[in-house]
Chains A and B, each alone.
Chain A
Amino acid sequence: DVKVTQSSRYLVKRTGEKVFLECVQDMDHENMFWYRQDPGLGLRLIYFSYDVKMKEKGDIPEGYSVSREKKERFSLILESASTNQTSMYLCASTGTGGMGTEAFFGQGTRLTVV
């Protein structure tokens, strides 16, 4: 019953590489999010999108970009990976319920930059 799927569970990349993290949801949700999870820092929002081709910066967008060409797919791009981007990345999606709706998360991608 998987609803949000991230393309990789584990990734190891070299410093300076361009990295793509993919997320697909099958719930026809309008909103999609990329979070970064680090111990003691919780879930920090990198970017989110509320419609196809629309994107908004979150709290820590530096060093990242995103792409949403189709409603069901939201990609996170690390233009030039650095070691401080080693982290767990979580994708999530929500619908547009009037008074708040549940966020569904992907299984996470643990990225290591060496």
Chain B
Amino acid sequence: GENVEQHPSTLSVQEGDSAVIKCTYSDSASNYFPWYKQELGKRPQLIIDIRSNVGEKKDQRIAVTLNKTAKHFSLHITETQPEDSAVYFCAASLTGTASKLTFGTGTRLQVTL
């Protein structure tokens, strides 16, 4: 089955700096890679996703890149703000009937003033 590794487990940046979180996956057939943000005491929510037919996607201050050959994908947050502090999870899945999302172990991002 799919295995997703995520690094780092914790990340502390100063407000305004950039943050990068990296994930690798094992199943070359996986074709959908979402990122979820979980604020303290709240449910995970999708912030951005990328499909295997593109290499990069951007939405305002966040971007995701995908390298299918190397089987890794990354989340980039620029101009970080205190409200970016949360736990971020990457995930991978093979879409279709009975598809399931396999998550990484999470990265706790702390943005300090």
Using CB atoms and an 8 Å cutoff, list the residues of chain A in contact with chain B: 31, 33, 35, 40-45, 48, 50, 56, 58-59, 90, 92, 94, 96-100, 102-103, 105-108
Among the 9-residue stretches B45-53, B62-70, B72-80, the one with 4 or more Cβ atoms under 8 Å from chain A is: B45-53
A31 to B105, CA, bound (A): 22
**A59 and B93 within 8 A (CB):** no
CA distance A40 to B45 in the complex (A): 19
Minimum CB–CB distance from A54 to chain B (whole Å) comes to 8
Interfacial chain B residues near A48, Cβ < 8 Å: 98, 100
5 tightest CB-CB pairs across the interface, nearest first? Answer: A100-B32, A42-B105, A43-B103, A105-B43, A50-B98
Decide if the interface of chain B is mainly helix, strand, loop or mixed.
Answer: loop
Instruction: Give the CA-CA distance A58 to B53 in the complex, in Å.
Output: 27
Say yes or no: is B12 at the interface (Cβ < 8 Å to chain A): no
User: Interface code B36-47, partner A: CB below 8 Å = 1, 0 otherwise?
Assistant: 100000111110
Question: Are A90 and B44 touching (Cβ within 8 A)?
Answer: yes
Flag if A33 contacts B43 (CB, 8 Å).
Answer: no
CA distance A2 to B51 in the complex (A): 27
Residues of B within 8 A of A102 (CB): 34, 46, 49
Q: Residue A33 contacts which of B45, B101, B104, B105 (CB distance < 8 angstroms)? A: B101
Tell me if B95 and A99 are in contact (CB < 8 A): yes
- B89 in the interface (beta carbon within 8 A): yes
- Given the known interface contacts A33-B100, A50-B98, A59-B1, the answer about A103 and B105 at a Cβ–Cβ threshold of 8 Å is no
Cβ-defined contact, A100 with B89, below 8 A? no
Report yes or no: B43 in contact with A107, Cβ–Cβ below 8 A.
yes
Whether the Cβ atoms of A45 and B100 lie closer than 8 Å is: yes
Q: Is the CB of A100 within 8 A of B49?
A: yes
Q: Indicate if the CB atoms of A103 and B102 lie closer than 8 Å.
A: no
**A50 close to B105 (CB less than 8 A):** no
Interface centre among A90, A100, A105 (most CB of B within 10 A): A100
Q: Are B97 and A58 in contact (CB under 8 A)?
A: no
Chain B neighbourhood of A106, CB < 8 A: 43
Cross-chain contact B89 with A42 (CB below 8 angstroms): yes
Across the interface, which residues of A come within 8 angstroms of B97, CB to CB? 50, 96
